[in-house]
Structure 1
Amino acid sequence: MSVMGCAGWKLFWVICLVSTFFHYVRVTVRESRVEVVRGESAPLSCSFFTLMPLFRLSIIWTLTPLSDPDSPTQVIVYDHGQVIESPSFMGRVGFVGMPWSADIILNDTRVSDAGVYRCVVSNPPETGDPGIGELSLTVLAPPSLPMCLWEGDTDTGGNVKLSCVVVEGFPTPQLIWEKLEPIHIILPVNMDGGMTSSVQISNVSAETSGLYRCSVSNPLGTQHCYISLSVYSPPDNTPGTLQGVLLSLSMALLQLALVVLVLWLRRSARDSKWRNSREEDECYNEIKYTPSLIKRSFV
């Protein structure tokens, strides 16, 4: 027992001697990958070991977001007993078990919180490089409500493009286009980058009219948006239809000619009657006044 005790003391003094010349903070993380659903809390671990008192302990957490890998941002800092939260994480992040642990918890997680987190621990007067721990956070989210749009010419023979845009969702949602009415058809989809899909319909006709639906889904949920498409079809100009139109036009012209003829005849008859009446009046006046003229001539 005495020999074992002596060997143990020698090992202890060797460790102390090595630590005197190689001061550094050792950092470990329990989980290198953390996955949560949007809105839940995410515990981010960062344990450290140091031989020095914690009077000048400094802990800095940073995030390199997936959306912008070249722009890391500060999350929370512990420096000389003070805690400073980044404005974008204010009220949502905090240390757990300080000062003996650098663990933090992130509440009310958002899709924008996803990325690579690093905790940097230093504890002067240790002269070694700061200890660094790294882990990745994945935030799962159901797809947001998509927006359906259309553009093009809805006259017969035109081209129409249907588009479906979704802003949020992880894993990346699958987008499907269907024609629901009057016949159910699955349509071929073009992915236009990001979370946008489109359907190109060429040479539209009356059969193209109907109700269309875009479905956006991932393991956390499904959302839909709809478009009601109406294609204008001009009247069919077949020979039979053209003959019918010409016949109708001819009958209308004939009726108009008959009306004009009747009006002309009525007016002619009225004018003739008026002329005859005037001639009779003139003759009567001539006979009436002739005797008086003769009588005067003999006086």
Structure 2
Amino acid sequence: MALPASALLLIVSLGSVRALELVPTDQKKIEKPEGDRVTLDCKFTVGPLDVGSLDIDWALVAADTQQEDQQIIMFSGGMPYVIYDGLKNRVHFNSTDPANGDASIDIINLKSSDTGTYQCKVKKVPGVQSRKIGLSVFLKPAKTRCSIEGSQKIGNDLIFKCGSSEGTAPLTYEWQKLTGSRSLPKGSVLDESTGVLTVKNVSQEHSGTYKCFAKNRVGNDECMVRLDAVPHSNIGGIVAGAIIGTLLSLGLVGLLVYFFCKKKKEKKYEKEVQHEIREDVAPPKSRTSTARSYIGSNHSSLGSLSPSNIDGYSKSLYNKVPNEDQERPPSQTPNFVLPKVAGPNLSRMGAIPVMIPAQNKDGSIV
């Protein structure tokens, strides 16, 4: 049975009325570095037939279909709710009022653990729409180090190494020369996946500063190293010089030891000679007894002289009397004074009187 024209018109008019729809977006897969922020887009429109309450639900889709999805944040009854503790204080709705058609969320301070597939689901009875967005959080290369292996001598082969201790794989490496010709040495080979640059037959032209760039999808890091190619040194001459220098040093030390021992022996010998007692040498005579004997022996002669002949005799003999103070060396001159004794006391003590003639200034006897 054919439908009346009025019924057909009603069906066509109801079909033309818009229902709940999600605004198209080009977000399918997003890549971000750690520490950055991301906005997951989910805008929608509603139709006149969508008269139910609005519910928005964001979930992290489980990688295993046997597990349940992890609910993250939701909007219901006009209020937002954060459910997933892993994103607590890091996720919120982009709009202060998602009911106006913007169910997008922002995630700040991204971590590598945030990598996954996120699903936005908007419900307004009778309409229901959903969308999935993939998010990959990468760690940028960091702590990149450069080094050169091998002796930097002209003609040698060298290996330039570059590596990052942090960064999400895959990492690629690139080397550049910053000085001189600013091009890598001819014939050098670079492994971009390991950062190893092999340089054959190094020459003076290869000297300069080199920079390495470590890259991945979300960032890069760099380091620098300096190459100073120098000629080969005369190793034989260096060894010979070292040997000669060592021998000379040993010879000098030997001479010093020899002279030191010789000097020590000489000092020891002199000390022994000074303390040696000679048994075959007679002890020295006392000068005091000699002088007194001399004076005593001439006493009788002086006493028997008459005034007439004493003048010539006294001059010849008196002047010959030894003077102890004059003959004695300065070091042996006594530093004491004999006590004065009276004449009578001297006679009682057995002293013999001696007459010493007086002299004038010119030495003549008065």
Q: TM-score normalised by the shorter chain: which range applies?
A: 0.5 to 0.7
Moved more, 236-245 or 210-219: 210-219
The one-letter code sitting in structure 2 at the alignment partner of 1:188 is L
CA 81–270 in structure 1, closer or farther in 2 if over 3 Å, else same: closer
The one-letter code sitting in structure 2 at the alignment partner of 1:105 is S
Cα distance in 2, alignment partners of residues 176 and 260 from structure 1: 64
| 2:43 alignment counterpart | 45
TM-score (norm 1): 0.54
CA 79–31 in structure 1, closer or farther in 2 if over 3 Å, else same: same
| 2:104 alignment counterpart | 105
Cα distance in 1, alignment partners of residues 123 and 148 from structure 2: 62
Cα distance in 1, alignment partners of residues 216 and 160 from structure 2: 28
Match of 2:128 among 99, 107, 131: 131
Cα distance in 1, alignment partners of residues 248 and 217 from structure 2: 69
Per-residue deviation, 1:251: 2.0
1:199 partnered with 2:196: yes
Q: Secondary structure at the match of 2:212?
A: strand
Cα distance in 2, alignment partners of residues 83 and 276 from structure 1: 115
| 1:61 alignment counterpart | 58
Contact 1:151–1:162 under 8 Å retained in 2: yes
| 1:77 alignment counterpart | 74
CA 239–119 in structure 1, closer or farther in 2 if over 3 Å, else same: closer
| 1:283 alignment counterpart | 280
Q: For structure 1, list consecutive stretches of 5 or more residues without a partner in the other structure.
A: 1-5, 19-24, 192-196, 289-299
| 2:143 alignment counterpart | 147
1:120 partnered with 2:117: no
CA 243–28 in structure 1, closer or farther in 2 if over 3 Å, else same: same
Cα distance in 2, alignment partners of residues 15 and 91 from structure 1: 39
Task: Provide the aligned C-alpha RMSD in A.
Answer: 5.6
Cα distance in 2, alignment partners of residues 269 and 114 from structure 1: 93
The one-letter code sitting in structure 1 at the alignment partner of 2:94 is V
Cα distance in 2, alignment partners of residues 275 and 137 from structure 1: 106
1:220-244 Cα distance to aligned partner (Å, 9 max, x none): 9x7543355799x9x9682322222
Match of 1:244 among 238, 241, 245: 241
1:162 partnered with 2:162: yes
Per-residue deviation, 1:147: 1.7
Cα distance in 2, alignment partners of residues 273 and 97 from structure 1: 115
CA 278–173 in structure 1, closer or farther in 2 if over 3 Å, else same: closer
Higher strand share: 1
Cα distance in 1, alignment partners of residues 78 and 221 from structure 2: 51
1:29 partnered with 2:22: yes
1:35-89 Cα distance to aligned partner (Å, 9 max, x none): 799657564223455846314x54323344xxx8558543432335543244525
Per-residue deviation, 1:97: 6.1
Match of 1:215 among 200, 213, 216: 213
Q: Secondary structure at the match of 1:284?
A: coil
Q: Secondary structure at the match of 1:53?
A: coil
CA 182–146 in structure 1, closer or farther in 2 if over 3 Å, else same: farther
| 1:256 alignment counterpart | 253
The one-letter code sitting in structure 2 at the alignment partner of 1:46 is F
1:111-132 Cα distance to aligned partner (Å, 9 max, x none): 66776543334556x6xxx734
Match of 2:223 among 212, 221, 226: 226
CA 33–115 in structure 1, closer or farther in 2 if over 3 Å, else same: farther
TM-score (norm 2): 0.47
Contact 2:56–2:123 under 8 Å retained in 1: yes
Cα distance in 2, alignment partners of residues 283 and 167 from structure 1: 103
1:176-206 Cα distance to aligned partner (Å, 9 max, x none): 2446579856572443xxxxx5437799x9x
Contact 1:181–1:211 under 8 Å retained in 2: yes
Higher CA-based Rg: 2
Cα distance in 1, alignment partners of residues 147 and 212 from structure 2: 15
Q: How many aligned residue pairs are there?
A: 254
Cα distance in 2, alignment partners of residues 249 and 212 from structure 1: 41
Per-residue deviation, 1:248: 1.8
Cα distance in 2, alignment partners of residues 189 and 261 from structure 1: 66
**Higher RCO (CA < 8 A, seq sep 6+):** 1
Contact 1:161–1:199 under 8 Å retained in 2: yes
